[in-house]
Structure 1
Amino acid sequence: MAQVLILGLRIQERIAARPRAVTVASLAAIVGISLALGFYNLDFLYGAHVDEPTKVVLVADKPHNYFHPPLLIVLARALAWLGAASSDLERLWAGRLVSVMAMTAAGALFYLVLTRYADRLQALIWSCVFASSPAIAVHAHYFKEDALLVFAICLGLHALVRLVERIDLHNLVYLGIALGLAPSAKYVGFLNSVGLFAFALWYCRLGARDAALVVVAGAAIVLAILLVSFAGESGTGLGDVLTGLARELKHAESGHDLGEWFWAGYGLTHLRHHLLPSITVMTFLIGLGAICLALVKDRDRRVAAFAAAAFIWLFALELSPLKIVGQMRYVLPVVVYFLLAAGIASSRSIAMRSRAGATALALVALTVTAHAGISYVRNMNPSKDTRTKAVEFLTANGMTNVVSDYPTGYPVPQTWDYEALASYDYLLSLRFERYLRGGELRAQNSQVYALASMFHCLDGYAVATFSRLYGDYGFVAPTVRIYDLKRGASCIPPAKSRP
C-alpha cells in the first residue's frame, strides 16, 4: 500500500509538470474505460429490458408517441440509416450504440468539469470512479434515454463552468444548446436545465440580453430536434408531443403499481436501494465524509453547490411515488452531482491536509466501485443471466405450458394479468419480490395485497430460484422463481377478489 501511495505522489508531481499532456492522457484513459465497459456484453438479452422493443419499433417505421422526448430516437434513426440497418437486431444495436457513446462523452465532460476545481490526480481518479460505477457502466448498455440525460447534464455543467470563467457569445450559445438538449433527451431534464439557468443568472449576473440569448439557443435546439423527428415520420405533430408529455406528467404524479410516498413512511427508498448500489456503500461513505469535511471545516462553496444539487435531486425523488425497487436509473442525476462534490472535496479538503491520505481514499473508492461496475456488467452476459438459467431449467425438466409475468428475452408466453394463471402449469416470475414487498407497505391498492398473499402462498410450491451475486441491478440478472401452479392452484385469488 505504501508503494502505491508513493507512486501516486510521484504521478501527481509529474502531472503538475506537464498539464496538457496529462489532460490528453487522462481523457484517453477515461474514454477507454467507458468504451471497454460499454461494449462489454452489449449483446445482452434483447427483450429482457421491457422498453427496448418499443424503441426498436419507433426506429423502424412507427410514428413516435412522444411518451419520451425524441432525441434518442432521432439519433438512433440516424445511426440505423448510416449503417443501413434492416433488422430489429441491427436497429437495437444502433440504439445501444447511442447510449455507449453518450456515457463515454459524459465521462470525458465529467473530467473536464472536475479539473476546474480539483487537482488533476484527484480529478482523474474520481472521473474513473464515475465512468466505472454500476450507474454509468450498466446504463450505457440500454436503448433508453438515461445515458443521453447524463450526457446532457454533464454538457450543461461544462458549459456553465466555462461561462463562469468567461461570459462571451460562444459560451452563452454553448450553455443554451446544452440546456436545450437535456429536456430533448428526457423530460425531467427540463428541471436540471432550469436549475442551471437560474444559477447562471444569479452567479454570473447575466443581463437581459445574455439571458435571452441562452433561452433562444435552448429553444432553437429543442425545436430543431422536434422538426427532425417530425420529418422522419408521417402523421405526427405538436399535438402528439403535448399528449405524450401529459401522459408522462401523469405517470410522474401517480407512480407505478406500488405507491411509496415519502411522508407515508417509506422514505429513503432511492438512497438505500438505488444510490448506494449505483456507487457502492464504501464510495458513498468516503464521498460523504469528504463533503462534510469540506463544508464544516473549509466552508467550500463549490462543494456546497454540487452537494446541494445532489441532495435536492435526491430529495425530489424521495418525494415522488416513482420508487419501484430496481429502477436505479432515476438516481443517475444524483450520481453526477454527488461524485463531482466528492471529487472536489477530496482534492480541496482531504488533500490539503494529507495528499497521501486523499490519494489512498480515492483509490479505495475507485477499487470498490470499479469491482462492482465490472461485476454487474459481467453478469449481463446472456449465458450467465438468471433468465437464461431459468429457461434452461424448464427445458431440461420438460416443463411446458409456462407463463412469465415479465419479459425474459426468450419466447416464453407472458401476461400482466395474474387472473390468467389458472390456464398455465408453471409461472416464471420476476415480479414476486415486488409484491411481497408491496404487501408490507401501507395504503396500497387492494390488488397489491391480493398478489402479495398469492405469492406468500405460492412459496410452498416454488420449484426453483435463480439469483446471482451482483444481480438484481436494473435489468441485470434479476432473481427469478419458478412456481408449480398445478399444485398451488388454490393460491391464485379468484377474479372477484381483485378489481
Structure 2
Amino acid sequence: MSAVVRRLELTQNGHRFAGLALAGWFVAHVFSLGLRFQGLIAARPQAVTVASLAAIVGISLALGFYNLDFLYGAHVDEPTKVALVADKPNNYFHPPLLIVLARGVVWLVSASSDLDRLWAGRFVSVMAMTAASALFYLVMARYIDRLQSVIWSCVFASSPAIAVHAHFFKEDALLVLAICLGLHALVRLVERTDLHNLIYLGIALGLAPSAKYVGFLNSVGLFAFALWYCRLGVRGGALVVVAGAATILAVLLVSFAGESGTGLGDVLTGLARELRHAEDGHDLKEWVWAGYGFTHLRHHLLPSITAMTFLIGLGAICLALVKDRDRQVAAFAAAAIIWLFALELSPLKIVGQMRYVLPVVIYFLLAAGIACSRSVAIRSRAGAMVLALVALTVTAHAGISYVRNMNPGKDTRTRAVEFLTANGMTNVVSDYPIGHPVAQTWDYEALASYDYLLSLRFERYLRGGELRAQDSQVYELASIFHCLDGYAVATISRLYGDYGFVAPTVRIYDLKRGASCIPAAKSRM
C-alpha cells in the first residue's frame, strides 16, 4: 500500500448550508414576532411561562433522544456503569446518585440486558439535562423579560455542552441538574426566606455532591452566599445543612440497599481516590504555573458554547459590569470565573474532555443572558434581540451538528472499521475503546504483535511531546507517533467532531512497514 496518506474528509456541506438557511429563516421569523408579542407576554405571564417551558423541554428532549443509540463502548466509562447497574458492587469512584436512578429505571421497565441498562442510564441523563434546561429558564426569568429568557434558555439547551452530554451514561448531566436546582432554590430563598425554601435549598445542595464529588464545591459556594446575602442565621443555616446531609445519607442508604458488601468505608476509599486523581491528573499534566492556564478556556469552553456566543456574552457582561455595575451579572460572572480558575489549577486537562467545563457554561450563560437583556437592551432593544438570536442560531447549529455526528453509522470509528474491512486489513488493534469488536490495548509494547494500529490517541501524545515537565513515557510515545506518521494509511475525521467522544479523529497506521518505530521494550502506560 502506498505510503501517501489519504485523508478521508467526512463532511456534509449540503446539510450544513441547508441547516444555516433554515436557522436564518427561524431567526428572522422570531425577530419579527418578538416585539409584536411583548404586550401579550406581559398580559398573560403564567400562560407564557407554561408555553416557554414546553418549548424548552421539547427542544431538550428532541436533542437528547436524537441519536441516543450512540455507539456502546465508545465512551470508555459506560460499560463500567452498566456493570454497576447490573450486579457489580459500587467502587464509589463516583457518587452513587446516577447508579441509584438508573437502577430505578431498570426496575421500572424490567430491563434484563446490558443494552437495556445502557438505555436506562442514558435516559436518566436525557431527563436530567431536560430538567436542568427548564430550571435554567426559571432562574433566568426572575431577572429578565420572558422572551429573552426563552431565547437564552434555548441557547443553553441547544449548546454542544448540554446537547452532547445528555447522551452519555455519565454523572455530568446530574451535576448540571443539581447546580441548576441549587440556583433555583437560592433565588427562591432570596425572594422569601421560609421553611420550605430552606429545605429546598438543603436538598439541592445535598444532591450536587451525590451526583459528582466536585459538586460539593458548588454547594459550599451557594451555601456561603445564602448565609451572607439572605442572613439565614444559625437556625436557618443549620436547617439547610441538615437537609443537605439527610439528602446525601438517603442516596447512600438507597445505594447500599441495592448491593451487598459495600459500606461507608468504600465511599471514603472512592472519594480519596478521586481526590488523588484530581491532584495527580492523567498521563498528561498541565499545571497552571507551568504556563498552561487557559487550556479549558481555549479547548473546552469555546467549543461548548461557540466562540461567537462567548464573544457576545463576554461583551455584554463587560458592558454590564463597567457601565451599569450590575450585581446579578457580577455574581454569576464571578461564579463562572471561580469555576474556570479552579479547573485551570488542576492538571486534569485532557484536550477533548469538555465535560469539565459544564459548571462554567451554566454560570457564564446566565451572566451573558442577564447582561444582554439588561445592559444591551436599555441602549438598544432591537440590538439585544439581534445579539440573542445570533447566539441562539450559532450555538444551536453547532449543538445540532455535533449531535447529528453521533449517528453510529456515520461515526468516524465506524468509518475506520469499514475502511479496514474494505481494504482487507486484518490483525488490527486500537489504542482506545471504539464500540466495535476490534482488539484493544493500552500497552504500546504490544503493538509489535499487530499489523495495523487504529489510533484515537495519537494527537494526545503528539501534543504531549510539546509540553514541558511530562513523564518520560509521554515523550517516548510522542516519538513513536512522530515516527509512525510516515506510515499512516488513512486519517478519518468529520466537521463538528473531536468533541468529547463525538466523532474523534482516527488515524490508521501500518505497523508492518513502521515496525522500526516500535521499541522492543517500553514502559507500560
Equivalent runs, 1:450-461 vs 2, <5 Å: 450-461=476-487
Change (3 A) 1:484 1:215: same
Matched, 1:325 2:351: yes
Which structure 1 residue ranges, 5 or more long, are not aligned?
Answer: none
Looking at structure 1, the residues matched to 461 and 46 of structure 2 have their Cα atoms a distance apart, in angstroms, of 54
Shift of 1:497: 7.0
Task: Spell out, residue by residue over 1:376-417, the C-alpha distance to the aligned partner (whole angstroms, 9 max, x if none).
Answer: 000000011000000001111111110000000001010000
Looking at structure 2, the residues matched to 491 and 351 of structure 1 have their Cα atoms a distance apart, in angstroms, of 60
Residue type of the partner of 2:332? Answer: F
Looking at structure 1, the residues matched to 267 and 30 of structure 2 have their Cα atoms a distance apart, in angstroms, of 54
Task: Spell out, residue by residue over 1:396-444, the C-alpha distance to the aligned partner (whole angstroms, 9 max, x if none).
Answer: 1111110000000001010000000000000000000000000000000
What is the count of residue pairs matched by the alignment?
A: 499
Looking at structure 1, the residues matched to 288 and 38 of structure 2 have their Cα atoms a distance apart, in angstroms, of 44
Looking at structure 1, the residues matched to 404 and 465 of structure 2 have their Cα atoms a distance apart, in angstroms, of 33
Query: Which residue among 78, 88, 92 is the counterpart of 1:66?
Result: 92
Residue 10 of structure 1 corresponds to 36
Shift of 1:150: 0.1
Query: Which residue among 75, 82, 88 is the counterpart of 2:101?
Result: 75
Aligned-pair Cα RMSD in Å: 1.1
Range with bigger deviation, 364-373 or 265-274: 265-274
Residue 493 of structure 1 corresponds to 519
Residue type of the partner of 1:44? Answer: F
Q: Secondary structure at the match of 1:68?
A: coil
- TM-score when normalising by structure 1: 0.99
Equivalent runs, 1:305-384 vs 2, <5 Å: 305-384=331-410
Query: Which residue among 67, 72, 92 is the counterpart of 1:41?
Result: 67
Looking at structure 2, the residues matched to 479 and 384 of structure 1 have their Cα atoms a distance apart, in angstroms, of 13
- TM-score when normalising by structure 2: 0.94
Looking at structure 2, the residues matched to 237 and 410 of structure 1 have their Cα atoms a distance apart, in angstroms, of 36
Query: Which residue among 424, 428, 439 is the counterpart of 1:402?
Result: 428
Query: Which residue among 294, 298, 304 is the counterpart of 1:278?
Result: 304
CA contact (8 A) 2:60 2:158 kept: yes
CA contact (8 A) 1:400 1:425 kept: yes
Q: Secondary structure at the match of 1:235?
A: coil
Query: Which residue among 130, 155, 179 is the counterpart of 2:181?
Result: 155
Change (3 A) 1:126 1:465: same
Looking at structure 2, the residues matched to 212 and 494 of structure 1 have their Cα atoms a distance apart, in angstroms, of 62
Residue 130 of structure 2 corresponds to 104
Looking at structure 2, the residues matched to 287 and 21 of structure 1 have their Cα atoms a distance apart, in angstroms, of 29
Residue type of the partner of 1:421? Answer: L
Change (3 A) 1:324 1:300: same
CA contact (8 A) 1:12 1:120 kept: no
Matched, 1:268 2:294: yes
Query: Which residue among 469, 479, 503 is the counterpart of 1:443?
Result: 469
CA contact (8 A) 1:173 1:213 kept: yes
CA contact (8 A) 1:446 1:498 kept: no
Q: Secondary structure at the match of 2:501?
A: coil
Change (3 A) 1:465 1:139: same
Looking at structure 2, the residues matched to 176 and 3 of structure 1 have their Cα atoms a distance apart, in angstroms, of 43
Query: Which residue among 294, 300, 315 is the counterpart of 2:326?
Result: 300
Looking at structure 2, the residues matched to 215 and 103 of structure 1 have their Cα atoms a distance apart, in angstroms, of 26
Shift of 1:262: 1.0
Shift of 1:3: 6.9
CA contact (8 A) 1:148 1:185 kept: yes
Looking at structure 2, the residues matched to 213 and 64 of structure 1 have their Cα atoms a distance apart, in angstroms, of 30
Q: Sequence identity of aligned pairs in percent?
A: 88
Looking at structure 2, the residues matched to 496 and 83 of structure 1 have their Cα atoms a distance apart, in angstroms, of 48
Residue 428 of structure 1 corresponds to 454
Residue type of the partner of 1:197? Answer: F
Residue type of the partner of 2:401? Answer: S
Q: Which runs of 4+ in 1 moved over 4 A?
A: 1-4, 496-499
CA contact (8 A) 2:444 2:524 kept: no
Q: Secondary structure at the match of 1:427?
A: strand
Which structure 2 residue ranges, 5 or more long, are not aligned?
Answer: 1-26
Query: Which residue among 142, 154, 160 is the counterpart of 1:116?
Result: 142
CA contact (8 A) 1:164 1:204 kept: yes
Residue type of the partner of 1:186? Answer: K
Residue type of the partner of 1:395? Answer: T
Matched, 1:290 2:338: no
Query: Which residue among 139, 157, 163 is the counterpart of 1:131?
Result: 157
Matched, 1:29 2:58: no
CA contact (8 A) 2:443 2:524 kept: no
Task: Spell out, residue by residue over 1:180-213, the C-alpha distance to the aligned partner (whole angstroms, 9 max, x if none).
Answer: 0000000000000000000000000111011000
Q: Secondary structure at the match of 1:398?
A: coil
Q: Higher relative contact order by CA 8 Å / sep ≥ 6: 1 or 2?
A: 2
Shift of 1:476: 0.2
